[in-house]
Amino acid sequence: MPSNIRPQSGTQTIVALLPALNEAEAIGPQVRAMLTHPALRALPLARVLVVDNGSDDATAEVARAAGADVVREPRRGYGRACLTGVLTARDADILLLLDADGSDDLAGAAAVAQLVLCGAADLAVGSRVRGQCDPGALTTQQRLGNALAATLLRLLCGARVTDLGPVRAIRREALLALDPHEMTYGWSTEMLLKAARAGYRLAELPVDYHRRAGGVSKVSGTVLGTLRAGWTILATIARHARWRPSSPSSGQARSSGLAAATIGKIGGDGA
pLDDT digits (tens, 9 = 90+) for 147-176: 889 999 999 999 999 999 999 999 999 999
pLDDT band at 192 (very low <50, low <70, confident <90, very high): very high
Please indicate whether residue 165 or residue 228 has the higher confidence score (pLDDT): 165
Residue 20 in any domain: the answer is: yes
Write down the pTM of the prediction: 0.85
Residue 3 in any domain: the answer is: no
Name the residue range of residue 148's domain.
14-240
Whether the pLDDT of residue 92 is over 50: the answer is yes
Please indicate whether residue 263 or residue 235 has the higher confidence score (pLDDT): 235
Please indicate whether residue 176 or residue 257 has the higher confidence score (pLDDT): 176
Residue 130 in any domain: the answer is: yes
pLDDT band at 233 (very low <50, low <70, confident <90, very high): confident
The whole-number pLDDT of residue 269 equals 37
**Residue 168 β-bridge partners:** 97, 125
Residue 257 in any domain: the answer is: no
How many domains, in total, are found in the chain?
Answer: 1
Whether the pLDDT of residue 214 is over 60: the answer is yes
The whole-number pLDDT of residue 141 equals 81
Residue 264 in any domain: the answer is: no
Residue 140: burial class (beta carbons within 10 Å; 0-12, 13-18, 19+)? exposed
As a residue count, the chain comes to 271
Please indicate whether residue 219 or residue 232 has the higher confidence score (pLDDT): 232
Gyration radius of the chain over CA positions: 17
Residue 7 in any domain: the answer is: no
The whole-number pLDDT of residue 146 equals 86
Whether the pLDDT of residue 263 is over 60: the answer is no
Residue 258 in any domain: the answer is: no
In this predicted structure, which of 22-31, 148-157, 212-221, 257-266 has the lowest mean pLDDT? 257-266
DSSP state of 257: S
Residue 29: burial class (beta carbons within 10 Å; 0-12, 13-18, 19+)? middle
Percent of the chain with pLDDT over 70: 83
Question: At 269, which amino acid appears?
Answer: D
Q: What is the CATH number of the domain that holds 214?
A: 3.90.550.10
Residue 100 in any domain: the answer is: yes
